[in-house]
Amino acid sequence: MGTVSAYKLPLAALLVLLIGSSATAVYLYKAPISDVNAIASRSADLDKQISNLTNQTDSLKTQVLQLQTTISQLQATSQAQASEIQRLKSEVAQLQSPALSLHVDIVGTRFSWSFTCNSPCDSSRQGILMVPHDTTIILNVTSSDVFHSLAIPALQVKTDAIPGRSNVVWFSAPVGTYRIFCIELCGPGHSQMTATLIVF
């Protein structure tokens, strides 16, 4: 037999020549293929897991969007209900107010109160409201700029002054002089936002 060049023999034949056992040679030759198959199988499993996680993420995003939509709807409903409650309160106040009464419109503006009313009430002087003592005084309070809160502590009267809304409160007081305050922090001149109520 002539000499066979090792470069012309397949890898399996070389392994047989070197080791002398075809079974061992085949095992050694196929072992790397087994590893590749295991890696491919693991890679396929990871791809499935990634796909599942992606689907779960998409599902969670959809749920979050649905929750955000529900929250927005609830907030809109809550605001509508608050407006309706305020309207009903004003109507109830009008119905409960006595026949002998005077209405005073009060507007809060940084940093003063303005009054508008009919005789015998007098609001001609800036910062002074004069009302009779034998009458229920109904105050319709609002604001022209920011949130204020009208308070007459000595008479236990308090209501918010809110832009675009009129809040109603009423009182009847004995003869005397009372201070009117803003008790909602509304700016640098807040502490000077006072007025005088004179009951004659």
Q: pLDDT of 149-158, one tens digit each?
A: 999 999 999 9
Residue 70 sits at the vertex; the CA angle it makes with 64 and 74, to the nearest 5 degrees, is: 145
Higher-pLDDT residue of 23, 139:
139
Count of CA atoms in the C-beta half-sphere (13 A) of 103: 10
As a whole number, the mean pLDDT across the chain is: 82
- The predicted-structure confidence for 12-25, as pLDDT tens digits, reads as follows 454 544 555 444 44
> Which of 110-119's residues contact partners 24+ apart within 8 Å by CB, and which partners?
110/145, 110/146, 110/186, 110/187, 110/189, 110/193, 111/182, 111/186, 111/187, 111/189, 111/190, 111/192, 111/193, 112/193, 112/195, 113/150, 113/180, 113/182, 113/193, 113/194, 113/195, 115/195
Residue 96 has a pLDDT of 59
- Name 138's bridge partners: 103, 170
Q: What is the pTM of this model?
A: 0.52
Residue 45 has a pLDDT of 82
- The predicted-structure confidence for 96-118, as pLDDT tens digits, reads as follows 555 578 999 999 999 999 999 98
